[in-house]
Amino acid sequence: MPEFNPFAPLPTKSDTRSSLLEGSTVWREGEHACCNKDAEWPDRCAICNAPTDGFRLKMRLQWHPRWVYLLIIPGILWYAIVALIIRKTATIHVGLCPTHLQRRRLGIALMISSFLLLFGGLGVGVAIRHEELFFVALVGFLVSLIAGAVMMRSIVPVRIDDSQVWTKVGPEFLDS
């Protein structure tokens, strides 16, 4: 146990790091993994904590405060403009195991196929004036778009400031 130093500065609110691994650039703050923007994530899957054999997924994260979503009510254009102006970004390199990498790739393929389904079904539905085909294509597009978006998200930004990133990761990763 380290010796008590009466001359050491008192901890500030930003120093509330728990489970800081020696030499690690990623630490736990409550239910979130926190890191510096230039952090090197450990060689473990950020979801299930399995070994990744050195694989890192480059992720460009974007975040803005939740109140910005209220601007959708007056118009999507207002939301888009304000979100683009005040967003914070970070690029991190996160470890993913082969299982979760495959799930991410499947989600991306599902989203791409949903766009093909939409354009194919809408095009045929409009061309032959078949309203049921048009609505089936629209519903299929929405379902596969949502499913693909859920499947491909592995790391979710909770907050980004000028120097640090807070993310939601798997509980197994956090517990380690």
- pLDDT tens digits, residue range 84-121? 999 999 988 888 999 988 988 888 888 888 778 777 77
pLDDT for 6: 52
**What does the alpha-carbon distance between residue 117 and residue 135 come to, in Å, rounded to a whole number?**
12
**What does the alpha-carbon distance between residue 37 and residue 90 come to, in Å, rounded to a whole number?**
6
pLDDT for 78: 93
| Residues 46 and 94: beta-carbon distance below 8 Å | yes
pLDDT for 8: 52
The list of the chain residues with pLDDT below 70 reads: 1-24
Q: Which two tokens stand for residue 138?
A: 């629209």
| Residues 110 and 148: beta-carbon distance below 8 Å | yes
pLDDT for 165: 92
pLDDT for 25: 79
H-assigned helices in the chain: 76-86, 98-127, 131-152, 171-175
Token pair 């799930």 is found at 103
pTM over the 0.85 mark: no
pLDDT for 115: 78
DSSP 8-state code for residue 9: P
